[in-house]
Structure 1
Amino acid sequence: MVPHDALVIVDVQNDFCPGGALPVAGGHGIVPVLNRWIARARAEAAPIVATRDWHPEDHISFVDRGGRWPPHCIAHTPGAEFHPDLALPADILIVNKGTTRDHNAYSAFDGTGLANELRRHEIDRLWVGGLALDVCVKATVLDACREGFEVHVIHAATRALTPETGERALREMHQAGAEIEYENVEDRANHG
């Protein structure tokens, strides 16, 4: 990381981890990777952004309102809290999304003002990880590319709902201009 970089951590919340309302298989496994990136960002004084679904009880994405997901990440509940092992510093920027009952917001840029906030701090390159790769990470990365940011997806710091949708999401993000960053040659061989 260099000046003008920021780390963006997408929705590493209890409901998206094992035992949660909408768990991503192995979702908790990204926490140690993200903690290394958090430490690196802190050491280099790079801003850290953490997004979270922060839904009302009757959010439009929920099955009982015709959506595709079970109720999850309801604001001010344990399921909406960040994973307890995620070492988030106190001075990060928290971006709440999906806060109104009748609007889906998968991307951290959807109605949050995040792009303007990043530009205000002269950020032009983003390093992104979180949950889920094929839903909110993908939407965030695609919007970041559309907003003109240089985007790097930290492959080891994200998990998908399914391997197939994860591979499609990686291809789509790469085609949009994002770089997929692998931790090692084996990781790249297995997913490149």
Structure 2
Amino acid sequence: MTALPADVALLVIDLQPDFMPGGALACEDGDALVSPIADLLAERRYRTVVATQDWHPADHASFASQHPGKLPFETILLHAQPQTLWPNHCVQGSQGAVLHPGVDWTVANLILRKGTRREVDSYSAFRENHGPDGTRPATGLAGWLHERGIREVHVCGLARDYCVLWSAQDAMKAGFRVKFHWELTRPVTEANDGMVREALAKAKIAVI
């Protein structure tokens, strides 16, 4: 299969066991992505591949367990912004946090760990969520891609309605053309699919 232009990069978002059936924060059929994404990487069509990895401390502020009386999937205000509370997931060093072993990650040029700061959640590969000072700190990924001459970013992985969507939106804001591998994503909840499609259309992100 023909290689894509050198200025196109692939972002594989959070392909980790905790986001798959049997995991702490499972996306329905999330494990169905492992084989096709492994095949896509094996084709070597993308010369630049970035994999992100949710990597939370055990007492992360987004975990419902850190907020007495609160349950997973409830919403609170964190740093004056709405924050969904999650089950404990992708805890640093746990088996649920590893990049799925069914994929050959040696083809990745960069593995970016996110959500590492206790007080700040981090859906996007490009920016953390709002922190105590009201800003969304950059991860440095945009600069890394720009310096490699990347102009277009394709996204896939988990979860469609959170980390993949936010990464796609922030990639656009960082000046990249963006395409969204819809069939290579799965949501936390399919009820959000309409919202995701509307958000992609509003941002002029192509669905492939």
TM-score (norm 2): 0.82
Where do 5+ consecutive residues of structure 2 fail to align?
A: 68-83, 128-137
Instruction: Tell me which of 11, 14, 20 is aligned to 2:14.
Output: 11
Judge conservation of contact 1:133–1:160 (CA < 8 Å) in 2. Answer: yes
Per-residue CA distance 1:105-137 (angstroms, 9 max, x = gap): 110001310000000100011111000000100
3-state SS in 1 of match to 2:27: coil
Q: Which residue of 1 aligns with 2:61?
A: 60
Instruction: Tell me which of 137, 154, 162 is aligned to 1:127.
Output: 154
Instruction: Give the drift of 1:45.
Output: 5.5
CA distance in 1, matches of 2:177, 2:46: 19
Judge conservation of contact 1:31–1:157 (CA < 8 Å) in 2. Answer: no
Sequence identity percentage: 37
Larger radius of gyration: 2
Judge conservation of contact 2:156–2:182 (CA < 8 Å) in 1. Answer: yes
Which shows bigger deviation, 18-27 or 29-38?
29-38
Q: Which residue of 1 aligns with 2:179?
A: 152
Where do 5+ consecutive residues of structure 1 fail to align?
A: 182-192
Structure 1 residues 115 and 156: alpha-carbon distance in aligned structure 2, compared to 1, 3 A threshold: same
Instruction: Give the drift of 1:91.
Output: 4.8
| 1:15 alignment partner AA | D
Instruction: Give the drift of 1:5.
Output: 0.6
Say whether residues 1:141 and 2:168 are aligned partners.
Answer: yes
Judge conservation of contact 2:56–2:118 (CA < 8 Å) in 1. Answer: yes
CA distance in 1, matches of 2:183, 2:107: 24
TM-score (norm 1): 0.88
Per-residue CA distance 1:121-173 (angstroms, 9 max, x = gap): 00011111000000100110110011111111111110011222023112202
Judge conservation of contact 1:54–1:73 (CA < 8 Å) in 2. Answer: yes
Instruction: Tell me which of 99, 111, 118 is aligned to 1:101.
Output: 118
Judge conservation of contact 1:96–1:112 (CA < 8 Å) in 2. Answer: no
Q: How many residues align?
A: 179
Q: Which residue of 2 aligns with 1:35?
A: 38
Instruction: Give the drift of 1:54.
Output: 0.5
| 1:139 alignment partner AA | W
Judge conservation of contact 1:14–1:78 (CA < 8 Å) in 2. Answer: yes
